Chain A
Amino acid sequence: MNDVSPSARRNWMSTLSTSAPGRLAALLPDLPDHALLRSPEIGAVMVRGRAGATGAAFNLGEMTVTRCSVRLQDGVVGHAWVQGRDKDHARRAAVVDGLMQTDRADYIRQTILAPLAAEALAARRSRAEKAAATKVDFFTMVRGEDR
């Protein structure tokens, strides 16, 4: 078992939470033995916003999430909170969180987390580039009185 920093763990948990269930399942089809500490549970998170973007918080509405906690054979505990309602996905993400705390972390990072993060970045960049193409270039027309 390895030491893990909260910031590193935050990063990989975020990568897992927004990953597509099908993609994660393709990258990690078979799960190592594990026990369920908390069976996958579908619930809601109340999303908050701020009045005027920076003011007092208000309740915007809920989103679906699924959480799960597992214990790997060597006693390491993995947690997952993933967007949506896919129980297998939450379980798989919790196992990955557990494996990232073991000596298999490097292998998991290279084969699972790195590809997921790269795909997410590419998708974000593709949208940003489409948005950039719709940016307006103003040019001021010559008005009558300027002649």
Chain B
Amino acid sequence: MTHATHSADLSGGFTEISHQSARAFREILEAMARPGSIRTVVGALPPAPLSVAAGVVLLTLTDPTTPLHLAGEADCKAVRDWVAFHIGAPLVAAEAAAFAIGTWEALHPVSRFAIGQPDYPDRAATLIVEADRLTNHGPALTGPGIETATWLSLPETAAFHANRALFPLGFDCIFTCGDRLAGVPRSTRVEKI
């Protein structure tokens, strides 16, 4: 016998799914098209330790056909239940993930994530990196979608150097903090300043 189900872990999804997911998709698209630009998103209230922005990205980009890796503290029962109810994405090891979520430390070593294949560069992982702060200070970003240069509070530069060297292969990153996010796609060059 099981007890009747209760709702503690089931709230926090989009309430108006078509509008909220369309708006969120637009923001994420802009973030990836203009690397380093910080954008605000709303609509998700995921369980701790996930941020609002990480929840929005998951609700918008993942579904039962996108294998998801929960890294570190993100791999807890509350998050697993929330993902099962709202998304249904299969939870997998880092190597098999289309999306991964966690802090930069928890996601390390990032070299384990899929970088795509020459025929299908799109079969690469997207890392949703939870950050304590997200500001336009730090390493310099240049490349497609950036007019001259911009700056972003990235945790390091070496991993992004290595990833850029794989282009057109490589993983893509979305940094999330509170209700804000910024994109660092594989095409972006990251330099220490």
Contact = CB atoms under 8 A, between A and B. Distances in A.
Interface of A: 1-6, 36-39, 41, 69, 71, 75-77, 79, 101-102
B15 interface: yes
Nearest to B13: A38
A6 B3 CA distance: 10
Contact of A4 (B1, B13, B15, B86): B1
B6 A76 contact: yes
Contact of A41 (B1, B3, B11, B17): B17
Given A38-B85, A39-B17, A3 B11 contact: no
- Contact size class for B? 10 to 19
Contact of A79 (B1, B5, B15, B17): B5
Majority secondary structure, A binding face: strand
A1 B11 CA distance: 20
Contacts of A37: 7, 10-11, 13
B4 A76 contact: yes
Given A5-B1, A38-B85, A39-B17, A75 B6 contact: yes
A137 to B, nearest CB: 49
Interface in B1-27: 1-7, 10-11, 13, 15-17
A2 B17 CA distance: 32
B193 to A, nearest CB: 46
Nearest to B65: A46
A59 B3 CA distance: 35
A6 to B, nearest CB: 6
Contact of A1 (B1, B4, B13, B15): B4
Contacts of A69: 10, 85
